[in-house]
Amino acid sequence: MVEVVLFHHVLGLTDGVRAFADRLRAAGHTVHTPDLLDGHRSSSVEEGMAHVRELGFGTVVERGEAAVADLPVALVVAGFSMGVLPAQRVAQTRAGVRGAVLMESFVPPAELGPPWPAGVPVQVHGMDADPVFAEEGDLDAARGFAGSGVAEVELFTYPGDVHLFADDSLPTYDADAAGLLADRFLVFLDRVG
């Protein structure tokens, strides 16, 4: 059993994020799903981004760090899209993190603080034609990181052009891709557990 913190995307802590967490729980893992937006929900990515810009990305990252403060040190951190920011920050700054699963986003580690810690494996997942993940540089950054030798990196791309494909409460949900992502996530947890 692994202790996991799963950070939600810019639309908030949706039923689909909760359902994804439940899938991990059903496999025996403890999963925490902190609400980084204090209950705020958005009906579109654009609306959500406007809210987060107003709040401040730094505030979201700080809330993520605060959410793990009282949890056991040996965590796996994970995030969907915007949730990758606090997940990566925690992975890069908190000693004892077992691994990171970054979904539909990736930020070059240098932008979030100290170098990626030695021995902390990472999975990165995203659609190969997602306008956010593939066309805004995240996929290229993840490929560069995977080829750097800094960490054990598994990069998984899925055919498709939607963002937030693993949230079953959204119209962008892709059951096949989401199922494969969840299976790969569970294999990762078994490996680092």
Q: What is the pLDDT of residues 12-40, one digit of tens each?
A: 999 999 999 999 999 999 999 999 998 88
**pLDDT on residue 154:** 97
Q: What's the whole-model pTM score?
A: 0.95
176: exposed, middle or buried (C-beta count within 10 Å: 0-12, 13-18, 19+)? exposed
CATH number at 3-192: 3.40.50.1820
**pLDDT on residue 57:** 84
Supply φ then ψ for residue 164, to 5 degrees: 65, 50
Task: Return d(Cα 100, Cα 182) in angstroms, integer.
Answer: 14
